[in-house]
Amino acid sequence: MRQLARKLMSLKTGEVEPDESRSYRDILMGSELTVTKTIDDREKIRIAVYPIICSENPKMAMGLMTLLALLLDHWQEIRVYPLMVAVPPQAEPQNYQWTVNDSQFVDYDLEGLDHNASIRGTLNDVNNSWQLTLNIDFDEKEQVKVLAYVAPDVAGLVNQLPQIATDIAEELEANQANITHYAETSTYDDRLIVLLNDIFEWQRRLYLSLWGQPFPENAIHQYIEKLTESGKVIDDEFAAWSVASVIAHAMQPGYEAVADSVTALCGDVVNYFQHSYFGAIYIGTALFEKGFAQQAYNLLESAVEKHPKHPTSWITLADLYRRGGHAHKMIDAFQRAIEEEAANSLLYRNYAAVLQMIDPALVQTFILIDPAEYDGNYIVWEAIEAYKEVEKLEPDDLVALRQRAMLLLDLGEINAFFIDPEDTDEFFNVFEKLVKADATGVQVRAIIENLYLLDNIEVAIDILEEQLEQYPDRVDLVLNLAMAFIVNEEEDFALEELDRARTMSDDPIVLNDIEYLTLLALNPNFEAEMGEIQTLVNAGSKLSSGQLAFLQEAINTAPGYVDAYVTLANAYLLEDDLASAIEVLLDGEVQIPNDAEILLTLSRALWQAGQIDEAFKYLEKGIEANPKHVPLLALMGQYLFEDDDEDEARLYLMRAESINPRHPALAAARKRIVDLIASRK
């Protein structure tokens, strides 16, 4: 069954071939997969989705599971492995006869599947209501999370699927959701059950085709025809969404055995659901990714012509033009959508974002501004207006507000580039809105660090002081005010605010920021000098005695500033001065006891010095205080492997992979282990 696991893991990216040699993953992970780009690029969360057990209608339950899996796949950090069939170990693909019991299991393990989370569920008809229970098991959490949902009918369950997917993603701590389009249904249950059954049957055949069971073209045609007909009976947006979604899913690279046949027939799906834009969105995107760009453009152009008020079609069309390298057509698609009054906040946000990146010469027309009212910088003003539209639609979007403020700053010094005082006022109005809305101060800090572009920032300082009067216990406001004073070359006032901040928090991150700002207040060139030194050290260049003294002085002045310890220690390591590096890091560990970077660097230095037990001691301390710090976990796994404790090494490396399989520290540990394996042969 390893081949089936490989096929499941290869969906979206293509086949992952095993290596004949024994690799890092052979020894540590019990897998045939080599250390390849495919493995390194795996999603952070990889979910094995088991069948939803249902005695009343198992196929319907499995259809629901299929749609839930498709929704979860919209999260960039999630990869979903739907386990549709428990294939008997000795079965042969050509002779296997499926039964419904083969898709109602809870304990089946597909050998070689690299999942770190699982979902198991039950669906029961209780007192004329459907009760769905899901058990979420995640390697990073000690307890299984139980989620429960109730609906009076099947349509009620279907309409809850986006929220169910969101609840699961939140439990798994996944970010970067992308469910931008979905449609609810109010159809009769009998029709909906037929569609869900057909969705499952289609997905089951796809799954078995990965295993190697033939799925001939005539059968593919019959299944697609059955799917589209059951969807057409319902004839609503949900039917179009669900059928288009499962057909587009089958066009992914991993389904080589069936993808060409599906691609040849996918136009029928769009034709069946011409009343909806979903077919064009999903099928068009799938066609583009298979290399049929012009067909994709044609589908989406037809969709926006038939459904000019649906922003998702316009967004998809513009994105495909962007990916295809057609900048003029991308801009034109955005502007046509705005002209049709079809733009939502996402479309305006995307339009503004591409305007910030594109060559101004490629934008010849403007839809949100009248160029005659501006003295140049048209593309910037167009982007500013787009972010204004985002604010109208989503007043709480702090990122859009920050971007708008940054664009106003990017125009240059206000007195030199702004046309009249009203434009100066616009920046400070936006800044004030951001200060009042940003409860953490993170977005505001990004603006303050660029206030040097203005001739006079007294208004900004007044805004910060007024906000601080209302919220005197917010340390982020104190730090932002200190930063503003530094930008305004009022270092004494900045130091007063920093002394105040020290009494307000014991958070290590806040304390480190206080130390950094203190150094900046005492030396306006500190950031530039420190950056130059770090660049040299990262490049493996040795420092001058003056640069070493600069770092030591930074430690003496701001003993809680982490970067100074780590940079100075690494500089000593470049000199092969292990004793001095260890001494600096031990001093840092006393000042900042649980800092991950200090403990990581200290462990490396101790290991190089042959102090193996001490290295493990500080690694253990670091991991205890920072259990999700991938570099610490990866280094512990590497050192355990070097110390011939492969079982323990595997545990730490698997923990690191479950958190961030793409992390450079994990890649470095992999390479070191592979080199060790080769050297031991």
Q: Do 390 and 418 fall within a single domain?
A: no
Amino acid at 594: N
For residue 526, give the 3-state DSSP assignment: helix
Cβ–Cβ < 8 Å for 32, 60: no
Q: Do 3 and 144 fall within a single domain?
A: yes
Per-state percent for the chain, helix, strand, coil, to nearest 5? 65, 5, 30
Q: Do 579 and 668 fall within a single domain?
A: yes
Would 286 be classed as within a structural domain? no
Would 236 be classed as within a structural domain? no
How many Cα atoms are found within 13 Å in the side-chain-facing hemisphere of 149? 23
For residue 159, give the CATH number of its domain.
Answer: 3.40.50.10070
How many Cα atoms are found within 13 Å in the side-chain-facing hemisphere of 101? 2
Q: Is residue 415's pLDDT more than 70?
A: no
Convert the pLDDT of each residue in 354-365 to its tens digit: 999 999 989 999
Convert the pLDDT of each residue in 306-331 to its tens digit: 999 999 999 999 999 999 999 999 99
Cβ–Cβ < 8 Å for 404, 384: yes
Q: Do 136 and 60 fall within a single domain?
A: yes
The pTM score is 0.83
For residue 561, give the 3-state DSSP assignment: coil
Q: Is residue 516's pLDDT more than 50?
A: yes
Q: Do 45 and 164 fall within a single domain?
A: yes
Q: Is residue 505's pLDDT more than 50?
A: yes
DSSP string for 55-106: SS-HHHHHHHHHHHHHHHTTSTTEEEEE------TT--TTT----GGGG--S
Would 355 be classed as within a structural domain? yes
Cβ–Cβ < 8 Å for 670, 635: no
| Residue where a domain stops, chosen among 446, 479, 507 | 507
For residue 611, give the CATH number of its domain.
Answer: 1.25.40.10
Q: Do 564 and 672 fall within a single domain?
A: yes
Q: What is the mean pLDDT of the chain?
A: 90
Query: Can you name the residues that pair with 130 across neighbouring β-strands?
Result: 125, 151
The total number of structural domains that make up the chain = 4
Convert the pLDDT of each residue in 629-665 to its tens digit: 999 999 999 999 999 999 999 999 988 987 887 899 9
Neighbours of 539 (CB within 10 A): 8
Q: Do 483 and 587 fall within a single domain?
A: no
Q: Do 390 and 442 fall within a single domain?
A: no
Would 337 be classed as within a structural domain? yes
Would 157 be classed as within a structural domain? yes
For residue 390, give the CATH number of its domain.
Answer: 1.25.40
Q: Pairing relation of β-strands 117-126 and 45-53?
A: parallel
Would 282 be classed as within a structural domain? no
| Residue where a domain stops, chosen among 362, 394, 426 | 394
| Residue where a domain stops, chosen among 186, 215, 230 | 186
Pull the structure tokens for residue 644: 């011939």
Confidence (pLDDT) at 14? 55
Q: Is residue 578's pLDDT more than 60?
A: yes
Place of tokens 């702090």: 398
Q: Is residue 34's pLDDT more than 50?
A: no
Would 434 be classed as within a structural domain? yes
Q: How many helices (H) and strands (E) does the chain have?
A: 32, 5
Q: Do 48 and 177 fall within a single domain?
A: yes
Q: Do 57 and 168 fall within a single domain?
A: yes
Which domain, by its residues, includes 361?
Answer: 308-394
Q: Do 434 and 389 fall within a single domain?
A: no
Question: What is the average per-residue pLDDT within 484-504?
Answer: 97
Would 464 be classed as within a structural domain? yes
Q: Do 486 and 612 fall within a single domain?
A: no
